[in-house]
Structures are given as structure tokens and as C-alpha cells.
Amino acid sequence: MIAKISWHHIVLYKEVNLDEQIANWTALDLLLWLNRWNLQENLTHFVVALRIFSANTVSAASCEISLLKLRIIKMYQACTMSQERLNNLAILSTERDFNVDLDIVVKNFLELIP
């Protein structure tokens, strides 16, 4: 659907400060400009696309920051780990390899009780 652009919109476009480089505007700047001049009704699909784009970049950045913080925490834990903790982790990983059948363990325990 092609948006209807009237002479009123062209005049509004000319009123934009020409010193600003429109190419340097962010999606949020463009959304604010469209809202300021009440153009969101004529460009509904474009406004929706801008909203999705602006929200998508924020969520991607927050995920990257979360992963960075997680990496920092893991690095701190690895650097400050004591020998005792390393030994305990080694024992846990070794014991995890054994498959224990609980039915057999219970049966053997019951045989030991008189």
C-alpha cells in the first residue's frame, strides 16, 4: 500500500533542520519525527516496521551484554578456584560416569539387615 503524501507533508519535510544529516538519524529519531508531525496515520506499516526494528536492536544488545557478563563470571570462577574445589569437581565428574541401578542397591542393603 502506497502512503498518501500531500503538500502539507512536503512542507513539513522542508521544515526539518537542513543542518542535520537525515542519513545519521536512528530509527528512534525517525519515529519521534513521524509522531511529532502526526505522520504515523499515513505511514502505519512503516511505523510498525520502525518499532519492530528499534525493539529488536535493544533485545539483541541486551542478550550480548548478558552473555558477556556470564563469560566474565565464568572467568572469575575459573581464576579463583581452589585446589580442593578442583578435586571435588574431578570426583563428581568421575562418579557421574557410573550407572547405578537403585533396585540392586536397595536389594543388597536389605540383604545386609538381619
In a domain, 84, yes or no: yes
In a domain, 15, yes or no: yes
In a domain, 1, yes or no: no
Q: With the C-alpha atoms ordered 22, 25, 29, 35, is the resulting torsion angle positive or negative?
A: positive
Query: pLDDT band for position 88 (50/70/90)?
Result: confident
In a domain, 44, yes or no: yes
In a domain, 16, yes or no: yes
CA distances from 52 to 1, 3, 43 (A): 19, 19, 14
* pLDDT score of 35: 83
Averaged pLDDT, 84-109: 78
CB 1 within 8 A of CB 24: no
Q: Which residue has the higher pLDDT, 15 or 75?
A: 75
> What is this structure's pTM?
0.36
- Give the list of residues 6+ apart from residue 96 with CB closer than 8 angstroms, or none: none
In a domain, 29, yes or no: yes
Q: Residue length, the chain?
A: 114
* pLDDT score of 1: 42
In a domain, 33, yes or no: yes
Domain limits for position 75: 7-112
Read off the C-alpha cell for 15: 521544515
Mean pLDDT, the chain, whole residue set: 73
Averaged pLDDT, 41-65: 75
Averaged pLDDT, 77-104: 76
83 sits in the region (left: phi over 0; alpha: psi -120 to 50; else beta) called: alpha
Read off the pLDDT of residues 4-49 as tens digits, 9 standing for 90 and up.
555 555 555 555 555 456 667 777 888 888 888 787 788 888 888 8
In a domain, 47, yes or no: yes
Read off the C-alpha cell for 43: 505511514
Q: Which of 6, 1, 2, 55 is nearest to 26 (CA)?
A: 55
Averaged pLDDT, 49-71: 73
Domain count along the chain: 1
